[in-house]
């Protein structure tokens, strides 16, 4: 009985507000032909503030891919362990109890993955399995949950640690002048999240079914151009409309489980932007309030990529509104265009 326990979240200490972002856009791109459009889009992101691993003046510099890679490694090693310890404590487990670590990140690259460093430095067993996921972007939070669920179904006594480490500010490219790139500069934030899925015991979401769905021929709608200067984020203007083709996939998953996707008790979904949440509410026929946890993440932290679903889930834990047996949907959306979806019931009596 795979139960996803309460996630732990940490955001860095440097903060940039929406007003700060708008002023920076005016200062840096005052002569941009579509500045008014960019400012309007940033104003409507729903993001009030974001957290960064460096002061904004450092973020605006581009010291090169090698320097950014060094920052990613240094900051991940400095920030991830405390979040992992908290997630383990909340699941009432120790590092030696973990059988698999799923590590997701689309904003930096290390080989070996940070999983190897965690095993060596935090007391995990040497036979702990590793699954790093680097190329699913924002959908990777959902993918981490689903791969953990698959593992627990194959090994019912197993426990899995999920880690999402996203330093989106390291992907800032001062030379990218496309509207999508400039919008992303006001949307994405930095965060680290972790959670444990227990094969036995625990309080949280008992995972029952999962699935993936890719909208055909949309692989260039969200992408990175990988260049000597690093990752260049590319966002197609059609992305905000992706919930119309994805909502039927969510409904189909629920139908297979004999549930109604429009009549569930909780929804934990990736908050790519307010349009995504508004459209999903409309196409599933659920009230806007159903996505309050995702909206809160977007408002307070911005789009924190793969960490969104874990932060939104943690907010549901904090609200203490879930009751035994209530049904819910978890989903991450990202490049592909890919949806990683799961169904589960709230359980506080798992054995």
Catalytic machinery residues: 138
Question: In sequence order, what are the residues at sequence separation of 6 or more whose Cβ sits closer than 8 angstroms to the Cβ of residue 103?
Answer: 113, 114, 115, 118, 130, 131, 132, 133, 163, 165
Burial of 200: CB neighbours in 10 Å, binned 0-12, 13-18, 19+: middle
Q: 292-310: b or e for each residue (b if 16 or more CB lie within 10 Å)?
A: bbbbbbbbbbbbbbbbbbb
Question: In sequence order, what are the residues at sequence separation of 6 or more whose Cβ sits closer than 8 angstroms to the Cβ of residue 27?
Answer: none
Interatomic CA distance for residues 116 and 130, integer angstroms: 8
Which token pair is 276?
A: 């995504």
Question: In sequence order, what are the residues at sequence separation of 6 or more whose Cβ sits closer than 8 angstroms to the Cβ of residue 59?
Answer: 52, 169, 172
Interatomic CA distance for residues 5 and 205, integer angstroms: 7
Q: State the greatest distance between any 2 C-alpha atoms of the chain, in Å, as a whole number.
A: 62
Residue with tokens 């094969």: 199
Interatomic CA distance for residues 47 and 56, integer angstroms: 17
Alpha-helical runs (H) found in 10-64: 18-28, 35-43, 56-59
Alpha-helical runs (H) found in the chain: 18-28, 35-43, 56-59, 65-90, 114-122, 140-154, 179-184, 243-256, 274-284, 292-301, 308-319
């Amino acid at each position: 009985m795979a139960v996803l326990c309460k996630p732990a979240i940490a955001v860095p200490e440097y903060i940039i507000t929406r007003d700060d972002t708008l002023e920076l856009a005016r200062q840096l791109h005052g002569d941009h032909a579509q500045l008014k459009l960019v400012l309007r889009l940033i104003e409507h992101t729903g993001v009030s503030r974001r957290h960064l691993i460096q002061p904004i003046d450092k973020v605006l510099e581009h010291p090169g891919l090698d320097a950014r890679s060094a920052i990613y490694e240094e900051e991940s090693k400095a920030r991830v362990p405390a979040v992992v310890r908290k997630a383990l404590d909340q699941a009432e487990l120790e590092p030696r109890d973990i059988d698999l670590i799923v590590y997701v990140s689309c904003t930096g690259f290390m080989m070996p993955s940070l999983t190897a460093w965690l095993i060596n430095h935090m007391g995990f067993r040497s036979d702990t399995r590793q699954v790093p996921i680097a190329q699913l972007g924002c959908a990777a939070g959902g993918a981490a949950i689903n791969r953990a669920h698959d593992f627990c179904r194959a090994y019912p006594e197993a426990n899995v640690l999920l880690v999402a480490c996203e330093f989106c500010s390291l992907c800032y490219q001062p030379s990218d002048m496309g509207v999508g790139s400039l919008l992303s500069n006001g949307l994405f934030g930095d965060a680290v999240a972790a959670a444990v899925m227990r094969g036995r015991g625990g309080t949280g979401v008992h995972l029952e079914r999962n699935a993936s769905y890719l909208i055909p021929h949309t692989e260039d709608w969200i992408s990175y151009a990988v260049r000597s200067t690093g990752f260049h984020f590319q966002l197609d203007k059609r992305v905000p409309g992706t919930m119309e083709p994805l909502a039927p996939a969510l409904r189909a998953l629920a139908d297979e489980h004999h549930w109604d996707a429009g009549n569930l008790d909780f929804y934990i979904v990736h908050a790519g932007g307010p349009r995504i949440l508004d459209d999903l509410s409309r196409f599933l026929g659920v009230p806007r309030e159903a996505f309050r946890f995702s909206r809160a993440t977007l408002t307070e932290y911005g789009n924190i990529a793969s960490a969104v679903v874990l932060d939104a889930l943690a907010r549901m834990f904090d609200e203490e509104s879930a009751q035994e047996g209530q049904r819910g949907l978890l989903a991450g959306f990202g490049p592909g265009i890919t949806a990683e979806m799961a169904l589960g019931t709230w359980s506080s009596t798992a054995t």
